[in-house]
A and B are shown apart, each in its own frame.
Chain A
Amino acid sequence: MGETLAEKIWTEHIVSATAGEPDLLYIDLHLIHEVTSPQAFDGLRLANRKVRRPDLTIATEDHNVPTLNIDKPIADPVSKLQVDTLRKNCAEFGVRLHSLGDVEQGIVHVVGPQLGITQPGMTIVCGDSHTSTHGAFGALAFGIGTSEVEHVLATQTLPLVRPKTMAINVEGKLKPGVTSKDIILAVIAKIGTGGGQGYVLEYRGSAIRDLSMEARMTICNMSIEAGARAGLIAPDQITIDYVQGKPHAPTGTEWDAAVAYWKTLTTDADAKFDKEVDLNADELAPFVTWGTNPGQGLPLSAAVPNPADFANPEDRGAAERALEYMDLKPGTPLKSIKVDTVFLGSCTNGRIEDLRSAASIIKGKKIASSLRLLVVPGSARVRLQAESEGLDKVFLDAGAEWRSAGCSMCLGMNPDQLKPGERAASTSNRNFEGRQGKGGRTHLVSPLVAAATALKGTLASPADL
């Protein structure tokens, strides 16, 4: 019997396998940021160990960094200490670091692909659950904890139990105004936040093959929101074209060898997934979350659900709690919900295509006077590219704030936070209680819905303008 793509990559990276033990897997690339690494470097120091492969390791500053006045010292002393600690650790252990102000600085999952160090067939890890993003290239990429960060630094390997595989088949064609963000929100609503636990998801089907690389990254990014540590998409010509010419892409005969290998990275026709889920792209509409976990989502044309209608008591309880936190009443049309802040950015939707699509809706118009629109490019390069295309002017002329790169309001570790009771439409990935600031309320949306909402003042898609 044939193998799935995830199984192929897994098998190729086994350093040692012993019955009854986890497989020891080789890690091709280790991405690092300031929040989940200090204790790992400390562990190395205590044990007198070094970083085994600094040449397969790269660090950037993203979670804590301010997006305003980045030429000044970081004002929050605790954030500053964490960033300074990363700088000290990278210097001591010889790890490449892109600091605030560096042209390659940005969110770690935006930086990897744009440097071309994210390539098909690799194993990629980072102390961040959205590492699944890199699966869009046909890589096996997943988030790890700090103990595992230390393990990879010391050994360039990880002991892991082989996951099961799940196919997410998305056939058909997306309607205009429907994006890859809507696909993944619909997938999570369908299988639930625990549906992918123990699985690697492989996104397949004509609707997936039609997507650009950046749209594919949005889907794989949120695999973790369905409980799956990793999600991937088989590489094809779109992938190859995207990698070609990037700073760290292979060249010459190495390029040819790499492409020949990448073309073998598909799920065999006779391979069997442990589970399959089907979604019809023709039927999808712009999606929005109404609750406090990413599985609590509905088409934008729907109304806030009534908890009493949930058959499962767990779901009912969760819906009741969510509506209380979100201050929403059952039956309220989602499109009537007023928002205070629109956040465009994050490792989910902070890439150049995301900024372009939002700008295309906003161009020449003004945002609603009742709200603020925060635009935070995913990396310094994305910011520069956007500025070269005049997108910064589009946003600024509309009344938005144009910021420097970082994780920003996705998790509010820097000063970009919601105030208690504030409501946001956000292109990020988590609508958890307090995620974007204590007491803040989050509705997850695509960049197109974010842009339309910013103009209208209430949750809206471009078709509603």
Chain B
Amino acid sequence: MEKFIKHSGSALPLRRSNVDTDQIIPAVYLKRITKSGFEDGLFAAWRNDPAFELNQPQYKKATILVAGPDFGTGSSREHAVWALQNYGFKVVLSSRFADIFRGNSQKMGLLTVILSQDEIEKIWQTVESKPDTQITVDLESKTVSYEDKTLSFVIDDYTRWRLMEGLDDIGLTFTKIDSVSKFEEKRVSFKPKTLPIK
């Protein structure tokens, strides 16, 4: 996983609530067996609409998605995170994220930052009037800044450390694998096994 310390870029305002993972990437695009190439399915149903924000030239270079509340609800498909990353997004800002989407993004190094809906609204207004506005998301200081404003956000220290170091969870768990073996020795025998087939 790539380290995330600080990112600056322009933003795409997405004034919609409840953007579920079927909207981020519809099921018909989930048939690939790689983690790349999903950008063509990103927001597929809305991409034909010239008015859709992603199609507007002033937002072409955006790397920060500023989304409405309850972003990423629904299906657990990590393809939603890959699609956003494959397209070039590094950060998503929203007032509420669905749990599974947020977990997936933190595994992949896509930073999801929670701000209040008032703060999101102000960013939307700023970006809509000045699409070139540079927004800096700094994980070190836990701040989002643009123009003369600096907003603080909350993220747990462990996740922040992992993202800043670019550490993958599996490697970290393997450092504790002895305790997994010990746990397995104590498991009760009536718990089911899938093998042998009965």
Interface positions of A (Cβ within 8 A of B)? 15-16, 20-22, 24, 26, 28-29, 35-36, 38-39, 42-43, 47, 49, 52, 54-58, 63-64, 76, 78-79, 81-82, 85, 96, 116-117, 119, 122, 127-129, 143-148, 150-151, 154-157, 159, 161, 193-194, 197-198, 224-225, 227-229, 247-250, 254-255, 257-258, 261, 292-293, 314, 317-318, 321, 411-413, 430, 432-435, 438
The answer to whether A56 and B193 touch (CB under 8 A), given A24-B179, A434-B26, is yes
Which residues of B, 2-30, contact A by the 8 Å Cβ criterion? 15-18, 20, 22-23, 26-28, 30
Which residues of the partner chain A approach B156 to less than 8 Å between Cβ atoms? 161
Q: Is A194's CB under 8 angstroms from B77's CB?
A: no
A159 near B172 with CB under 8 A, answer yes
The verdict on B164 contacting chain A, using a C-beta distance below 8 Å, is no
> Which of A21, A154, A197, A317 is within 8 Å of B17, CB to CB?
A317
13 further contact pairs, Cβ within 8 A, besides A35-B77, A145-B107: A38-B34, A47-B170, A52-B180, A56-B194, A79-B31, A143-B100, A193-B18, A194-B70, A225-B74, A293-B20, A318-B17, A413-B30, A432-B22
Q: Which 5 A-B pairs have the closest CB atoms?
A: A145-B104, A147-B107, A145-B78, A38-B33, A143-B76
Contact between B98 and A155, CB atoms less than 8 A apart: no
B115-139 residues with Cβ-Cβ distance < 8 A to A are: 117
Q: Which residues of B contact A16 (CB under 8 A)?
A: 176, 179
* Docked pose: A63 CA to B173 CA in angstroms: 30
Q: B195 in the interface, Cβ–Cβ < 8 Å?
A: yes
Q: A26 near B183 (CB under 8 angstroms)?
A: yes
Q: How far is the CA of A194 from the CA of B74 in the complex (A)?
A: 10
B141 proximal to A (CB < 8 A): no
Q: Which residues of B contact A157 (CB under 8 A)?
A: 173, 180
B40 in the interface, Cβ–Cβ < 8 Å? no
Q: Check B74–A155 contact: CB distance below 8 A.
A: no
Q: Is the CB of B70 within 8 A of A193?
A: yes
User: Distance in Å from the Cβ of B133 to the closest Cβ of chain A?
Assistant: 23
Binds A, one of B56-64, B83-91, B142-150, B184-192: B184-192
Smallest beta-carbon distance B84→chain A, Å = 13
CB distance from B191 to the nearest CB of A (A): 6
Could you say which of B31, B76, B96, B193 contacts A78, with CB atoms under 8 Å apart?
Answer: B31
Contact assessment for A261 and B33 in the assembled complex, using a CB-CB cutoff below 8 Å: no
Q: How far is the CA of A20 from the CA of B156 in the complex (A)?
A: 8
Q: List 10 A-B contacts (CB under 8 A).
A: A20-B158, A21-B158, A82-B33, A85-B33, A122-B192, A143-B100, A147-B78, A147-B108, A194-B96, A435-B22
Question: How far is A257 from B188 in the complex, measured between Cα atoms in Å?
Answer: 9
Q: How far is the CA of A324 from the CA of B36 in the complex (A)?
A: 34
Instruction: Compute how far the CA of A198 lies from the CA of B102 in the bound complex, rounded to whole angstroms.
Output: 11
Interchain CB contact under 8 A, A438 and B18: no
